[in-house]
Amino acid sequence: MKIKNNIALIGFMGAGKSSVSKLLSERLGKTLVSTDACIETREGLSIISIFKEKGEDYFRQMESRVLEDLCRQSGQIIDCGGGIVMRPPNLSLMRLNCLVIYLESRPEDLEARLKNHTNRPLYNAERLDKMLKLLESRLPLYRAAADITISTHNKSCHEVCEEIEDKLREYENTSG
Ligand code: S3P
User: Which of 59, 14, 51, 6 is CA-nearest to residue 33?
Assistant: 6
- Residues pairing with 76 in the sheet: 31
Q: Could you give the CA distance from residue 11 to residue 30 in angstroms, rounded to a whole number?
A: 20
What is the pLDDT confidence band of residue 176, given thresholds at 50, 70 and 90? low
Among 12, 115, 122, 123, which is best to mutate for testing ligand 1, by the most ligand atoms less than 8 A from CB? Answer: 122
What is the average pLDDT across 79-105?
Answer: 97
The residues, any chain, with a CB within 8 Å of residue 52's CB and separated by 6 or more, are 121
Task: List phi, psi (to 5°) of 6.
Answer: -135, 165
- Distance, in Å, from the CA atom of 47 to the CA atom of 21, rounded to the nearest integer, reads 19
CATH T-level assignment (fold) for domain 6-171:
Rossmann fold (3.40.50)
Using one digit for the tens of pLDDT, what is the confidence trace for 45-62? 999 999 999 999 999 999
Q: Are 20 and 155 in contact (CB under 8 A)?
A: no
Give mean pLDDT, residues 23-28. 98
- The region, left, alpha or beta by phi > 0 then psi within -120 to 50, assigned to residue 154 is left
Ligand 1 site, residue 82, Cβ cutoff 6 A:
yes
Q: How many CB atoms lie within 10 A of CB 139?
A: 14
Where is pLDDT greater, at 1 or 84? Answer: 84
Crossing angle of helices 88-97 and 128-145, in 10° steps, is 40
Is the distance from the beta carbon of residue 104 to the nearest atom of ligand 1 less than 6 Å? no
Pocket of ligand 1 contains residue 84 by CB under 6 Å: no
- Please say if the pLDDT value at position 3 is more than 60: no
For the whole model, what pTM was predicted? 0.95
